[in-house]
Amino acid sequence: PRARREGTELIGWGMATGVWDAMQNEASARAVLTRDGQVTVSSSTADIGTGTYTAMTQIAADALGVPLHDVVFELGDTRLPKAPLEGGSWTVSSVGSAVDVACKRLHNRLVELAREYGGASFASAAREDIRRAGKQIVCGSGTEDAIAIDTLLERAGLESLEEQATVKPHEKQQAYSMGTHSAVFVEARVDEALGTVRVTRVVSAVAAGHIVNPKTAANQVAGGVVWGISMALHEEGQFDHDMGRQMNHNLADYHVPVNADIHDIDVLFVEEHDDIVNPLGVKGVGEIGVLGVAAAVSNAIWHATGKRVRELPITLDKLFV
């Protein structure tokens, strides 16, 4: 402690670890292919800014073997297939698993229609050699054997093709403890005379299985880091225990960080393969970004000052006691 300084500031490093349950709930999804080759996938989940639209579209496109622009994902309506609330870091593992299964079933059914109505070349082709190519179904090494999706559905007497899936946690999971893990590293600078604290660097390393979209996942974790800094240094609910009311229920008196309070944040994802946690091998990154940050900030402040503060938020008056 107190071994490093620059000018009037004492510099400290701290780290902490975090773990959050890798949960999965029952969820359903529907996938509908129309004659124009467009696929609409739907589930009554939500997107509260966490990138659900993007992740589900990617999962569907991967399962179908089509580009993203051929998939539309619908959510936010209770008339759609049932899904759990968006929380608990389980949306991608729950709804994503249902989307994956529904789209694979749709693809398999399309392959069967091609084998039945596509002609001799499709009837004799191996299933794995039949695939989507734009608005066509093709087989073989090239695209010389092809049939338009519109034509195929017309021959089958169908206006559209629909599949729905409901996916639940499987019994194999019961034998394991499953979690998302993190290690958080913080650099804090404390003004020796004023007691003011600046968190100048944070590195959050997260092991969360298969990352569907690294960009949106990293943004999610970085937002959690901001929450953790806010928990450590800013947020404090003050209550009148006689009246039973909160005294600082406004953004003038209840402090949250602003841009000037947040500096460098780096998010790293540790490569991890897990075929037990769910069919996609994904784990949520909603809560894991917050966990461990406040503890790492506290450890960094101890390293900088030699003072161990065990009550949050860590305000300058506590550093002068």
**pLDDT tens-digit profile of 195-231?**
999 999 999 999 999 999 999 999 999 999 999 999 9
Residue 143 reports pLDDT greater than 60: no
Q: Is the pTM of this model over 0.75?
A: yes
Q: Which residues pair with 6 in a beta bridge?
A: 9
Q: Which CATH class is domain 27-168?
A: alpha beta
What value does the mean pLDDT take over residues 143-156? 88
| Sheet arrangement for strand 130-133 | 130-133, 136-139, 145-148
Residue 140 reports pLDDT greater than 80: no
Residue 147 reports pLDDT greater than 80: yes
Residue 142 reports pLDDT greater than 70: no
**pLDDT tens-digit profile of 167-183?**
999 888 889 999 999 99
What value does the mean pLDDT take over residues 40-60? 95
What value does the mean pLDDT take over residues 261-267? 98
Distance CA 88, CA 180 (A): 12
Is residue 131 within 8 A of residue 138, CB to CB? The reply is yes
Confidence of residue 128 (pLDDT cuts 50, 70, 90): confident
Percentage of the chain beyond pLDDT 90 is: 86
Does this chain's domain 4-22+173-320 share its CATH topology with 27-168?
yes
Residue 70 reports pLDDT greater than 60: yes
305 sits in which H/E element: helix 293-305
**pLDDT tens-digit profile of 102-113?**
999 999 999 999
112 sits in which H/E element: helix 91-117
Q: What is the rounded average pLDDT for all residues in the chain?
A: 94
Question: How many Cβ atoms from other residues are within 10 Å of residue 247's Cβ?
Answer: 12
What token pair was written down for 64? 């179908």
Residue 126 reports pLDDT greater than 90: no
Distance CA 207, CA 205 (A): 7
Active site residue 6: no
Domain spans in the chain, listed from the N-terminal domain onward: 4-22+173-320, 27-168
Catalytic residue among 26, 112, 287, 311: 287
Q: What is the CATH number of domain 4-22+173-320?
A: 3.30.365.10
Confidence of residue 134 (pLDDT cuts 50, 70, 90): confident
Residue 241 reports pLDDT greater than 80: yes
pLDDT at 250: 95
Q: Which residues pair with 168 in a beta bridge?
A: none
